[in-house]
Amino acid sequence: MKHLTTTLGLAAATLWGGAGLAADDVTLQLKWVTQSQFAGYYVAQDQGFYEEEDLNVTIKPGGPDIAPAQVIAGGGADVIIDWMPSALASREKGLPLVNIAQPFKSSGMMLTCRKDTGIEGPEDFRGKTLGVWFFGNEYPFLSWMSQLGIPTEGGEDGVTVLKQGFNVDPLLQNQAACVSTMTYNEYWQVIDAGLTPDDLVVFKYEDQGVATLEDGMYVLEENLEDPAFVDKMTRFVRASMKGWKWAEENPDEAAMIVLDNDATGAQTEKHQKRMMGEVAKLTAGSNGALDPEDFQRTVDSLLSGGSDPVITEDPGDAAWTHQITDEALN
């Protein structure tokens, strides 16, 4: 009966120019500004995939002053895009976020270093200054240093951690030997600034065994007790993953859709097309369902963060669910 109602509603909307049954509203809060990192959602909107699921989706860009967890806690979103370290930290502090889908299979985080600093491998980090993003993004790095046995308080035997802004200036200005970068974004800022790949040494967190999951979809646990909300999220995830797979297959067109949605005018065609090409590598292999092994790897990495881990207890399977994806992907 539910499917019949949806079909009739869509037919009425078509017949009367949208005057039929109202679509279900969904508000999505992104982790960062409008860019190809979030192409799947903009594609789903542009290509009518949300409309096909009888959804009216509002996509809210993020930014340096916007914390997705705070937005959903305040009722400003139904679903947010967040990195798992941040989401699990929020959960342990009392905000019961649950991962309902995981479009990103791989991590794009890297440490990009100048070769002229003498760094060839992780053992050469000692005595160097390394740029690290904070606001929850530092935890994979701290876990990595802990596993390497390298102190992060400075000194010849340790590393000096520079709180890095969301740019690569410390590397360009020789204030740091290495900086945090993403494969799809800041690394290319370094290249565009004049350094070549031969000038650099990169360490992908994925290759170092300390990668944590990025860009998952999270909702409040209590909302999953509402069948209507579950149904709405099932349709949202199904349409979003359709958008992601379309973006993987049509990266240049997806990048242009993102540009069309950039109200700031700050993004460029070259950068967004290049970003989409790299992001497609991270979403490849994911159908949207969280891999429990990837989840456990992330948890184990966060728990091994030395004296100040991001989480102190394994949240177990309460922090994620296949309830949505099992239905959406059937």
Whether residue 222 sits in one domain with residue 316: yes
**Domain residue limits at 312:** 23-105+213-328
Q: Does residue 42 lie within any of the structural domains?
A: yes
Nearest CA to 302 among 150, 143, 133, 82?
143
Whether residue 113 sits in one domain with residue 57: no
Q: What is the distance between the alpha carbons of residues 305 and 308, in angstroms, rounded to a whole number? A: 6
Average confidence score pLDDT of the chain: 91
The whole-model pTM stands at 0.88
Q: Does residue 96 lie within any of the structural domains?
A: yes
Among the candidates 158, 179, 208, a domain finishes at 208
pLDDT digits (tens, 9 = 90+) for 33-79: 999 999 999 999 999 999 999 999 999 999 988 999 999 999 999 99
pLDDT value of position 11: 42
DSSP string, 151-220: -SB-STTS-EEEE--SS-HHHHTTS-SEEEEETTTHHHHHHHTT--GGGEEEEEHHHHT-----SEEEEE
Q: What is the distance between the alpha carbons of residues 10 and 7, in angstroms, rounded to a whole number? A: 5
State whether residue 278 is helix, strand or coil. helix
Whether residue 194 sits in one domain with residue 125: yes
Whether residue 233 sits in one domain with residue 96: yes
Domain count, the chain: 2
Q: Does residue 279 lie within any of the structural domains?
A: yes
The CATH number of the domain holding residue 144 is 3.40.190.10
Whether residue 288 sits in one domain with residue 196: no
The residue type found at 71 is V
Q: What is the distance between the alpha carbons of residues 108 and 249, in angstroms, rounded to a whole number? A: 19
Which residues of the chain form beta strands (DSSP E)?
A: 24-29, 55-60, 79-82, 97-101, 109-114, 129-132, 160-163, 178-182, 200-204, 216-220
Whether residue 49 sits in one domain with residue 128: no
Whether residue 223 sits in one domain with residue 280: yes
pLDDT digits (tens, 9 = 90+) for 120-141: 999 999 999 999 988 767 878 8
The residue type found at 13 is A
Percent helix, strand and coil across the chain, each to the nearest 5: 45, 15, 40
Among the candidates 208, 223, 243, a domain finishes at 208
